[in-house]
């Protein structure tokens, strides 16, 4: 699980990702958190059919929020400013090998 806290339109909210879902404890959720979660879902739905991920890959083309790295990219893209990232944050691969064995 990882959590990203940042601002959207001047409001501070947090989005947590775990096992393919955006999650938040019902007791702790604020209106700003809910707005951030909805904004991330909206952004992800707009990205369906488009490659999401680091320039070197891996990418997802659909169901972006089911993949931790693609979800992180969409969450970063949704927030105007990221203030904190905590937990088991996926790492961006430094090198990628394509199907022909070429390493980038």
Residue 97: inside a domain? no
Match 């940042």 to its residue by tokens.
6
Residue 100: inside a domain? no
Q: What is the pLDDT along the chain (104 residues), one digit of tens a residue?
A: 999 999 999 999 999 999 999 986 667 889 999 999 999 999 999 999 999 998 878 899 999 999 999 999 999 999 999 999 999 999 988 766 777 877 66
Q: What is the domain range of residue 36? A: 2-87
- The rounded distance, in Å, linking the Cα atoms of 86 and 62 is 25
Give the E-state strand segments of the chain in sequence order: 2-8, 11-18, 21-23, 81-87
- The rounded distance, in Å, linking the Cα atoms of 51 and 42 is 16
pTM: 0.86
- 3-class DSSP assignment, residue 91: coil
Residue 23: inside a domain? yes
pLDDT for residue 66: 97
């Amino acid at each position: 699980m990882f959590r990203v806290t940042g601002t959207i339109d001047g409001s501070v909210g947090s989005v947590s990702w775990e096992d393919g879902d955006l999650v938040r404890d019902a007791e702790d959720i604020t209106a700003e958190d809910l707005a951030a979660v909805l904004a991330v879902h909206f952004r992800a739905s707009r990205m369906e059919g488009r490659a999401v991920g680091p320039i070197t890959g891996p990418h997802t083309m659909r169901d972006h929020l089911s993949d931790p790295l693609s979800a992180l990219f969409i969450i970063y893209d949704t927030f105007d400013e990221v203030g904190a990232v905590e937990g088991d944050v996926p790492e961006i691969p430094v090198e990628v090998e394509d199907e022909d064995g070429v390493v980038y």
